[in-house]
Amino acid sequence: MARVTFGTVAGEDTIDGIAKVLSDYSRINGIRKPEVITSSTYNLTNYKEANIIRTRAITLENEARKYFELIPEDYKDTYYQLVFYPAVASANIIKMQINAGFNQFYYKLGSVLANQFGKLVEEAIIIDEQLQCYYNDTMSSGKWQGIMSSPHIGYTNWDSKGWQYPQINFVVPRSDSFMIVNMEGLEVGYTSGTAILPPFTSLGRDSCSVTISNGGCIGFDFKTVANSDWIKIDTDHGTIGDDLTILISIDWNYVTAKSGGIITITGNGQKVDISLTAEAVDISNLSEMCFVAVDNIISIEAEHTFNQVGKSGVEWKVIVNYGRTLSSIKMFPTTISFEQIEDAQYLEYSIYLENAGEYIVTVLSAPTNNLLFNSRLKYGISFDGVNPVIADSLQPGYVAGNYNNKFWKEGVLDNIHIMTTAHKLEKGAHILRFYGLDAGLVLQKLVISKGTPPASYLAPPESYYKIRNTSYNNY
């Protein structure tokens, strides 16, 4: 579309940039539609999820604005209608809702940082109104007056009835100083006592941000001290007005096994200890495409298979750039289904578990409807080729196209189907087999966990694996 519409009036770099804006806007809206994003959609503390999505939204907005300036004047209205408004308006809503989440988070902690996020939400609301007004009243001399006046944010129901901008709360600062410490991976703040961080490992989580903020109107000095050489802190002292974020990281040259340590933060006569552990994982014997559990969790993007097996003329193809995080994988032709699991084609994933026990396999698949009234979207899961378990990505009672049906409605709003199966597994290496049984099934991600993983909308980010050079059959 970018080349067809702007190819005669813009250079190659600009056309490529506009095409990327369109692709990025479609992808971020494919995760969840802006009108049904709330302040709690993206997790504020786990996996840097909210910050990552907000950064993507900010980048999208900046890129859309950059190319608006590069488009000739006679084509700016076209660009605004087809590219700028959908991209920037969507990005602005995402930022608004995430900042509203942080506003509520810090308001509950009594931190003045809540007020900074509250102001960002207010700014986003003003921008939302300005974008609508320009589209309705100014663009193309008012040709499309009123067309963007429909509610498009804060839906609380299937329709726009009851829509609202996010709630904002402002903290009234104390008359003195008050140190509040919160950190990535924990949903609470600390004014004293000991916080226990999720574990650090050489295979993934190797840093953590810690925010020191003020509950009062008078600044205070702080200091940070670590009791071990392998703990690195980018700031060891300073002054807090409203807030400051410091970064904790690990010097793996000093970690040979599992180690424990303490960071002490002092300020305003208060003390908060942070307890942390770090483990250097030996991967010298790791085979190619083998995923390793960290904290009893393995997360796998669907296309990163150890092996793909087709049967009866059916093959697996990767659908590039379709999915919440990386891509999806689907069986072709699209009309084939299997009654017996031994007849079905399958994908294989290599994993290594540090602990034995009962594990949950969570399958995230595209929100496809069953293709026929009496059909379903079944799949099978087995480990090491034995005892396959058959499951259905559609919940019992699922009725496609019925907005009164809870399960169909959730699939549309969340843009995902999520189903789980339970499996008892021993410590060590395993091959997970995913069988495709019904036409229309589109796999996006697999999560193997002992217990429930930390809360997140996107599911845990992909686990460590040893990469190999693989040629995928892309669709």
**How many other CB atoms are there within 10 angstroms of residue 217's CB atom?**
15
- Amino acid 460: pLDDT: 96
Instruction: Point out which residues pair with 194 in neighbouring strands.
Output: 273
Q: Which CATH number does the domain 290-449 belong to among 2.60.120.1620, 2.50.20.10, 2.60.120.380, 3.40.50.720?
A: 2.60.120.1620
pLDDT of residue 472: 37
Asked whether this chain's domains 2-142 and 290-449 adopt the same fold, the reply is no
Query: Are 278 and 255 a contacting pair, CB within 8 Å?
Result: yes
How, if at all, do strands 270-279 and 193-196 pair? parallel
What pLDDT score was predicted for residue 162?
86
Q: What's the one-letter identity of residue 271?
A: K
Tens of pLDDT, residue by residue, the chain (475 residues): 778 777 777 889 999 999 999 999 999 999 999 999 999 999 999 999 999 999 999 999 999 999 999 999 999 999 999 999 999 999 999 999 999 999 999 999 999 999 999 999 999 999 999 999 999 999 999 899 988 888 899 987 777 888 999 999 999 999 999 999 999 999 999 999 999 999 999 988 889 999 999 999 999 999 999 999 999 999 999 999 999 999 999 999 999 888 999 999 999 999 999 999 999 988 888 899 999 999 999 999 999 999 999 888 889 999 999 999 999 999 998 888 898 999 999 999 999 999 999 999 999 999 999 888 778 999 999 999 999 999 999 999 999 988 889 999 899 999 999 999 999 999 999 999 999 999 899 999 999 999 999 999 999 999 999 886 543 333 3
Pairing assessment for the beta strands 357-365 and 346-353 based on DSSP bridges: unpaired
Amino acid (one-letter) located at 12:
E
| Residue 360: per-residue pLDDT | 98
Strands 237-240 and 200-201: unpaired
The pair phi, psi for residue 115, each rounded to 5°, is -70, -35
| Cα three-residue angle 357-291-293, rounded to 5 degrees | 40
Q: Give Cβ neighbours of residue 122 (< 8 Å, ≥ 6 apart).
A: 168
CA distances from 414 to 2, 36, 373, 384 (A): 29, 9, 22, 32
Which residues, in sequence order, are bridge partners of residue 347?
Answer: 308, 434
Can you read off the two tokens belonging to residue 374? 């009496």
Strand ranges across the sheet with 207-214: 189-190, 179-183, 207-214, 243-250, 231-233
**Domains of the chain by residue range:** 2-142, 179-279, 290-449
- Is the domain spanning 179-279 CATH 3.40.50.300? The answer is no
pLDDT for res 310: 87
At 299 the pLDDT is 97
Q: How far apart are CA 276 and CA 256, in angstroms?
A: 15
Question: So what's the pLDDT on residue 474?
Answer: 39
Task: State in words which class domain 2-142 has.
Answer: mainly alpha
